[in-house]
Each structure stands twice: as C-alpha cells, then as structure tokens.
Amino acid sequence: MRVRPNDVHGGVFGPGGGVFLSIQHWLNGVEPHCVARDYTGITMGRDHQSKVLFGKAKSPNGDLKVSDAAKYESET
C-alpha cells in the first residue's frame, strides 16, 4: 500500500496485536528520522506521546477505539 506524504492514514490490529512496517523515501532534503517525531493524532500512551516533537499529538481519552486510528472503520 502506498501512503503519499500528505495522506491521512491509520491502522487497527486485532487482539493478537500486529506490526506496522514503514519503508520511506525522504523528500526535499529532509534527513531520515523517527516518524513519531512528526506524528499527528491520538497517541498510544505516554511513551508514544513523549517522542512527538513537531506533530499535533493528543492523549487518548480513556481506552483507544478503532475510530481513533481509522475513523472510517467500524468496531465490527
């Protein structure tokens, strides 16, 4: 799946967990760095939030829901 630089995207995993592998091509002379630095959205907790430097991160309001990561997906 290709996610373009300005595409809003997210993912949801089942009870067994999962892994998200990101292979990136850095554009416009930007030096490669941890993508969490620029994260915008609801974080997975304090550790995730502490890594965000330039994005617009929000703390979860209670337990995370499917809609927090993928707003067009349903819980079923």
Q: How many CB atoms lie within 10 A of CB 48?
A: 15
Domain contains 22: no
Domain contains 64: yes
Tens of pLDDT, residue by residue over 32-51, are 988 788 888 888 888 888 99
Domain contains 16: no
Domain contains 46: yes
Domain contains 76: no
Structure tokens at 56: 């617009």
Residue labelled with tokens 């337990």: 63
pLDDT of residue 52: 92
How many domains in the chain?
A: 1
Radius of gyration of the chain (CA): 13
Helices and strands, number each (H, E), in the chain: 2, 2
Contact predicate 53/37, CB 8 Å? yes
Task: Enter the pTM of the model.
Answer: 0.61
Residue 45 lies in domain: 35-69
Domain contains 28: no
Domain contains 30: no
Q: Sort strands 57-58 and 41-42 into parallel, antiparallel or unpaired.
A: parallel
Domain contains 56: yes
